[in-house]
Amino acid sequence: MGTHHAGHTHEPLGLSGRALTAGLKSAEARCETQGQKLTPARRRVLELLMRAGQPVKAYDLISSFSGSVGETAKPPTIYRALEFLEREGLAHRIESLSAYVACRGEPGGHAAFFLICDCCGRTEEIAAPVDKALRGLASEAGYSLQTVSIEARGRCAACRDEPSEHVHAQGHG
C-alpha cells in the first residue's frame, strides 16, 4: 500500500521483511570487512533509514529510535551513528533537505545522485556515469575527493502527471 499525495499514490520505497533483514546483514558484513562494528545504535539508525526508504531528519530518527525496552536516544547518539553510516557508505546526507537516506547504490565509494520531487518530496538515488569523470577532473586539478553528492530537483512521474493547481494556489494570496 503506497502513500497518498495530492490526488495520486506513490509506491513505498522502504524495505521490510526479508529485504530489510538481508540489507542489515549485508551492512554488518560490509562493516566487518572494513574492521568496523555495526553497534546496536548504528544498526537501529540504519534500520530506520532502510524502513523509511526516503530522507529522514535526525530529530525524526531520535523520536523513532525507541527500542522494545522503551529506551530513547540522545541527539549525540543519533548524530554519531549517522556520521559512521555516512563514512562507511551505508547512508547519505541530502544537504538541501538536511536529511539522511540509506544508500541504495553499489557498495563502496561512489557518488550519490539524487532525484528530489519538489511536489511530494519523493527522493530516489540513481546511478549516473559522471562519477569517474568528475573524480578524474578533480585529480587533474590536484584534488582528492572524499564524497560526491549531486541533487537534482523536479517532479516525479506521479506528480508530473497531476495538474499543478495546488502549487500555484500556494504562491498567490
Cell, residue 65: 529510535
Residue 88: which CATH number?
A: 1.10.10.10
Give the model confidence (pLDDT) of 119-150 as tens digits: 888 898 887 777 788 888 999 999 988 778 88
Whether the pLDDT of residue 152 is over 70: the answer is yes
What is the per-residue pLDDT for 172? 39
Whether the pLDDT of residue 98 is over 50: the answer is yes
138: containing domain = 3-171
For residue 58, what pLDDT band results from cuts at 50, 70 and 90?
A: very high
Name the more confident of 67 and 141: 141
Query: What is the DSSP track for 138-153?
Result: HHHTT---S--EEEEE
φ, ψ dihedrals at 78, nearest 5°: -65, -45
Check: CB of residue 32 under 8 Å from CB of residue 42. Answer: no
Counting Cα atoms < 13 Å in the Cβ hemisphere of 46 gives 29
Domain tally, the chain = 1
Query: How far is the C-alpha of 45 from the C-alpha of 65, rounded, in Å?
Result: 7
CA separation, residue 64 to residues 4, 20, 75 (Å): 22, 17, 12
